[in-house]
Structure 1
Amino acid sequence: MSLIYKSENMVSINNHKYAVVIAARNESNVIGHLIESIKKQKYPSNLLDIFVVADNCTDNTQEVARKAGAVVFERFNKQRVGKGYALDYAFKIIKSKFNHYDGYFIFDADNLLDENYIAEMNKVFDNDYKIITSYRNSKNYDTNWISAGYSLWFLREARFLNNSRMILKTGCAVSGTGFLVHDDIIEKNNGWKHHLLTEDIEFSIDNAIQGELIGYCDKAKIYDEQPYDFEQSWNQRLRWAKGFYQVFANYGFDLIKGIFKNKSFCCYDMFMTVMPAMIISILSAVTNLIFLTYALVNIEVSPMIVQETTSAIIMSFANFYLVIFVLGLLTTISEWKQIRATAKKKILYTFTFPIFIFTYVPISIVALFKKIEWKPITHSVVKTIEEVR
């Protein structure tokens, strides 16, 4: 869809007043550059206020943020841990002690904004979208195959999923960071009420059920840091996998009701997004392995079963690799100019992309049985917006 059609060019009549809300935990290395990129926006500065929640920080994040020009709230709570609780804490204070805002931008401390980001988001906001997500790019695509795997996945999500949804006007999905929420939504929810391990997809699913279509702005570009250490990547994606299971368990039935009762394609789309299809694939692979093991034990009487089962397993892996490779290739070609890497690395990481996705298989299995708690991700890629662009 997005390869053929372009999303609507929107214009704004009004410049709205926004609060920028940033949840940060030990982010002194990067938060100053985010605030700097916000202050460089081509948007009236008197219509932007920046708030930072220094959440259980043990470094000088609060000092760096204040020095950069943000209003800082310090929060210390070791029981209610996670971004959702930090956001709710911030909204409660902002709503009670500060001026009225039309909407709230939500960023992570490692983000950097293109200078036109807020002006472009304002155009979509002024066209009656109450929740808007944006184009997500990477600060460190070229670090290694892990960071490139993340980056390609988010670029694919922006270009081929959310952009297509926006063209069809079926409702998009918020992914992690870089989105705008109308004050009406925050008021209705009495702050931020989503506290599962993946609060972003929970937020998207809840609004789909409520009939609130999420918009997308392809011209608003945000850059964030992707993990490049496998252990850190494992822990993060383990939380994501567990979070998807939580969302499916908590909202799956309501999504089904929305599909049939409200005839909502958005509910169908979100149901297919959170449905644990990986488990079905794993069960299929395990079934083939069981047959193969049986055949190997009884190879004298079942050589044909060995051959057929082995072929089935090999073909399953080959098909998986090919499908994911094509997705990565299409994304690389369509977003070639947006990817910050040499041509050699762009090509190389297209081939490693299926391997990155395949590592979700053991992660999905472990997430089924292991108790997962939110853990902070260390951000160490220190770049200005000028360096990234």
Structure 2
Amino acid sequence: MPELLQGLPWALVLIGSLLVAGPALLVLAQVLLALLPDRRALPEFPRPARIAVVMPAHNEGRGLRPTLMQALAQLGPSDRVLVVADNCSDDTAAQAREFDVTVVERFHETARGKGYALDFGVRELERLARETGQSPDVVIILDADCTLGARLLPRIAAVAHATGRPVQATYLMSAANEGLKARVAEFAMRVKNLVRPRGMHQVGLPCGLYGTGMAFPWDVAVRAPLASGHLAEDMQLGVRLAQLGAPPLLCEDARVTSVFANSSEGEASQRTRWEHGHLAMLVGEGPKLLWQSMRPRRGAQLLQVMDMLVPPLALLAMLLVGWTLVQLALALLLGWWAPLAVALAGLVGLALAIVLAQRRWAADLLTLGELVRAPLILLAKIPLYLRFVVKRQVDWVRTKRDV
């Protein structure tokens, strides 16, 4: 027993290295898989007869019209667009009523957030289906400020209807300015929403959900646990649907895009909401979801949860560098080389993954020289992560996009 106790600190440090390096090595595996030729391209499927688009909109009166016009151009006479004007204090509902769409308004003092608006919209579709005797075949969720790629709606609706699974289109964001900080954020989004899901898809694994460009078969939509005020409600929904037997499927050739907030205030608010929401999922629900997935015949769900547990790349890089320096000191002082080797493997793996992703998917966005300078920019995010510990954001706040 004394010998075991003496070895306990070394074992705990080694476990710590595995926990820190594991997400980085998973990202490397996803990037390497994504580099392979597409072996699982989705075929063309027939378009379903009835598509319903649910568009939650909170104070989107200034930006709603272009998205509505694009959506209506891709739909037919048997389809429906339902705009949920959620807790609006502007003319969002009036703007939407100028189009041939259904508009409902929702007001609630405490149940605030996109998830509640989505649930309200699907419940309204259920009511309309009872009245008309016709339910939609597929429900598509679109943000009110996104840009639709060609054939986005019929394509993801057809895939969802044919496979019986939720479908996520490739969702990318572009920088409103050409500064290095904005382009690094755009690169990180490409890695998160395109490269890593593509790698998962290459081996038949589910992807996450990213909030817009999502299609659900009707029977999945009505039982989906949409009502949530979580800051990362889309990430939460993707994992919970997998638990219900409906893991999301990536449709890479369908695209939807939007633009990062242009103002510094809006960018800070947007980034805080995303990253605090991600970390809240990781810390609050990650261990439970991981445990639930460690059961027989749940390998795909386990890997989906592990993908969700990968921290934001900036934070992961900071953790790896800091942990590796600590392990170097312990190795020199105590001779604990194994934890250092694991930490170094994670650090090298993450660096290799980032370089490979830049060369294949972001050469138009960043040079290798700029990528080398990126860590200096990422240091500015340290206060954001510290606020998660001392004063995390828990309430959903709309991003202020304009200057």
SS where residue 29 of structure 1 aligns?
coil
Sort the Cα spacing of 1:67 and 1:139 in 2 relative to 1 into closer, same or farther, 3 A: farther
Aligned residue among 46, 50, 69 for 1:36: 69
Assess if the C-alpha contact under 8 Å between 1:21 and 1:106 holds in 2: yes
Matches within 5 A, 1:226-237: 226-237=260-271
* Matching of residue 18 in structure 1 with residue 51 in structure 2: yes
Assess if the C-alpha contact under 8 Å between 1:255 and 1:271 holds in 2: yes
* Comparing 276-285 and 198-207, the one that deviates more: 276-285
Distance, in Å, in 1 between the alignment partners of 2:172 and 2:311 is 26
SS where residue 77 of structure 2 aligns?
helix
SS where residue 95 of structure 2 aligns?
helix
Gaps of 5+ in 2: 1-32, 334-339
Structure 2 partner of 1:379: 401
Query: 1:158 Cα deviation (Å)?
Result: 3.4
Seq. identity, %:
18
Assess if the C-alpha contact under 8 Å between 1:137 and 1:224 holds in 2: yes
Query: 1:288 Cα deviation (Å)?
Result: 6.0
Distance, in Å, in 1 between the alignment partners of 2:37 and 2:111 is 44
Query: 1:77 Cα deviation (Å)?
Result: 1.7
Sort the Cα spacing of 1:71 and 1:139 in 2 relative to 1 into closer, same or farther, 3 A: farther
Distance, in Å, in 2 between the alignment partners of 1:195 and 1:22 is 17
Assess if the C-alpha contact under 8 Å between 1:209 and 1:255 holds in 2: no
Sort the Cα spacing of 1:240 and 1:129 in 2 relative to 1 into closer, same or farther, 3 A: same
- State the AA in 2 paired with 1:368: V
- State the AA in 1 paired with 2:127: S
Distance, in Å, in 1 between the alignment partners of 2:264 and 2:85 is 27
Structure 2 partner of 1:297: none
Assess if the C-alpha contact under 8 Å between 1:165 and 1:171 holds in 2: yes
Sort the Cα spacing of 1:245 and 1:62 in 2 relative to 1 into closer, same or farther, 3 A: same
Distance, in Å, in 2 between the alignment partners of 1:136 and 1:228 is 19
Q: Give TM-score, length-normalised by structure 2.
A: 0.75
Aligned residue among 27, 33, 37 for 1:5: 37
* Matching of residue 49 in structure 1 with residue 70 in structure 2: no
Sort the Cα spacing of 1:110 and 1:356 in 2 relative to 1 into closer, same or farther, 3 A: farther
Gaps of 5+ in 1: 293-303, 306-311, 382-389
Assess if the C-alpha contact under 8 Å between 2:55 and 2:142 holds in 1: yes
Distance, in Å, in 1 between the alignment partners of 2:350 and 2:371 is 9
Aligned residue among 208, 230, 239 for 2:242: 208
Query: 1:133 Cα deviation (Å)?
Result: 0.6
Assess if the C-alpha contact under 8 Å between 1:148 and 1:353 holds in 2: no
SS where residue 46 of structure 2 aligns?
coil
Query: 1:232 Cα deviation (Å)?
Result: 2.7
Distance, in Å, in 2 between the alignment partners of 1:156 and 1:205 is 19
CA RMSD of aligned residues (A): 3.5
Sort the Cα spacing of 1:349 and 1:179 in 2 relative to 1 into closer, same or farther, 3 A: farther
Aligned residue among 104, 107, 110 for 2:139: 104
Query: 1:202 Cα deviation (Å)?
Result: 0.5
SS where residue 68 of structure 1 aligns?
coil
Distance, in Å, in 1 between the alignment partners of 2:278 and 2:264 is 21
Sort the Cα spacing of 1:281 and 1:333 in 2 relative to 1 into closer, same or farther, 3 A: closer
Sort the Cα spacing of 1:327 and 1:37 in 2 relative to 1 into closer, same or farther, 3 A: farther
Matches within 5 A, 1:93-132: 93-98=124-129, 99-132=134-167
Aligned residue among 361, 364, 387 for 1:366: 387
Structure 2 partner of 1:192: 226
Assess if the C-alpha contact under 8 Å between 1:19 and 1:101 holds in 2: yes
SS where residue 159 of structure 1 aligns?
helix
SS where residue 216 of structure 1 aligns?
strand
Aligned residue among 86, 90, 98 for 1:67: 98
Distance, in Å, in 2 between the alignment partners of 1:276 and 1:195 is 21
Distance, in Å, in 2 between the alignment partners of 1:271 and 1:255 is 7
Sort the Cα spacing of 1:228 and 1:324 in 2 relative to 1 into closer, same or farther, 3 A: farther
Sort the Cα spacing of 1:349 and 1:91 in 2 relative to 1 into closer, same or farther, 3 A: farther
Distance, in Å, in 1 between the alignment partners of 2:324 and 2:149 is 49
Query: 1:105 Cα deviation (Å)?
Result: 1.0
Matches within 5 A, 1:216-365: 216-248=250-282, 249-250=284-285, 252-274=287-309, 278=315, 282=319, 285=322, 327=353, 329-335=355-361, 346-347=366-367, 350=371, 353-355=374-376, 357-365=378-386
SS where residue 35 of structure 2 aligns?
coil
Assess if the C-alpha contact under 8 Å between 1:279 and 1:364 holds in 2: no
Assess if the C-alpha contact under 8 Å between 1:152 and 1:328 holds in 2: no
Sort the Cα spacing of 1:284 and 1:31 in 2 relative to 1 into closer, same or farther, 3 A: same
Sort the Cα spacing of 1:358 and 1:214 in 2 relative to 1 into closer, same or farther, 3 A: farther
Per-residue displacement from partner, 1:177-200 (whole Å, max 9, x unpaired)?
2211222122224x6233322101
Assess if the C-alpha contact under 8 Å between 1:206 and 1:251 holds in 2: no
Sort the Cα spacing of 1:86 and 1:148 in 2 relative to 1 into closer, same or farther, 3 A: same
Assess if the C-alpha contact under 8 Å between 2:140 and 2:157 holds in 1: no
Alignment: residue pair count: 350
* Comparing 352-361 and 199-208, the one that deviates more: 352-361
* Matching of residue 77 in structure 1 with residue 111 in structure 2: no
Q: Give TM-score, length-normalised by structure 1.
A: 0.77
Per-residue displacement from partner, 1:217-243 (whole Å, max 9, x unpaired)?
111111112124444333333233332
